[in-house]
């Protein structure tokens, strides 16, 4: 989907995926020591704002300016600070060992960019830091409850397991979950969840 598509979607007054954090992020967040956190393809900022409320210093990367505006608006409502950067992941300035935590919630990209981004995340997390994600698996095509309708934009378990093979994998799950996130994620979905820490 194009930048224009996302700007149009996020330009509406309603929050497309709601204002509450993703259930997996909400469940795992208490385990994360406060740190410098990056949220990629974060849309309207629901997860970033929640994590900032727990004491993290959160930076959001997204290429939809309307989503970043909504992130700032939500942060203001919740009384927290979130840094926003308008950025296309094709041009992301990844630096090795620069983030304590990185999250990606339903951030879906074409295969080449997805694999490049996962490898970049693996390098960009500091030793002892973590990566968390909940994304749609290729099986989500059969569910029609959210996400891209292009199999090339959906994740396969081996992409995560191979990229983070040297990490300490604390949680890995692929299967059905119930999601009620705004009007666009509604019902039983097929997801992949990952939570791992980088060995020192």
CA pair distance 106, 103, nearest whole angstrom:
10
Q: Average the pLDDT over 99-121 and give the result.
A: 97
How far apart are alpha carbons 140 and 175 in whole angstroms? 10
First to last CA, the chain: 37
Whose structure tokens read 């949220």? 39
Q: What is the DSSP string of 3-22?
A: HHHHHHHHTSSS-TT-SSPP
Neighbouring CB atoms inside 10 A of 146's CB total 19
pLDDT of 115-168, one tens digit each? Answer: 999 999 999 999 999 999 999 999 999 998 988 999 999 999 999 999 999 999
Q: Which domains does the chain have, with CATH numbers?
A: 3-197 (3.40.50.150)
Spatial strand order in the sheet of 168-181 = 82-86, 57-62, 36-40, 99-105, 125-136, 185-197, 168-181
| pLDDT tens by residue, 66-98 | 999 999 999 999 999 999 999 999 999 999 999
């Amino acid at each position: 989907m194009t930048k224009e598509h996302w700007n149009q979607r996020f330009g509406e007054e309603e929050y497309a995926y709601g204002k509450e954090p993703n259930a997996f992020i909400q469940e795992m967040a208490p385990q994360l020591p406060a740190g410098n956190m990056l949220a990629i393809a974060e849309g309207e900022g629901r997860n970033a704002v929640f994590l900032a409320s727990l004491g993290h210093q959160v930076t959001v990367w997204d290429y939809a300016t309307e989503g970043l505006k909504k992130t700032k608006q939500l942060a203001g409502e919740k009384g927290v600070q979130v840094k926003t950067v308008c950025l296309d992941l094709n041009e992301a300035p990844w630096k090795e060992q620069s983030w304590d935590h990185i999250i990606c919630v339903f951030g879906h990209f074409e295969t080449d960019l997805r694999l490049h981004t996962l490898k970049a995340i693996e390098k960009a997390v500091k030793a002892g830091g973590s990566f968390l994600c909940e994304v749609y698996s290729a099986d989500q095509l059969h569910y029609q409850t959210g996400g891209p309708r292009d199999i090339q934009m959906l994740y396969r378990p081996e992409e995560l397991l191979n990229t983070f093979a040297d990490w300490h994998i604390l949680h890995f799950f692929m299967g059905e979950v119930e999601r009620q996130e705004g009007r666009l994620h509604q019902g039983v979905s097929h997801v992949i969840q990952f939570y791992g820490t980088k060995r020192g």
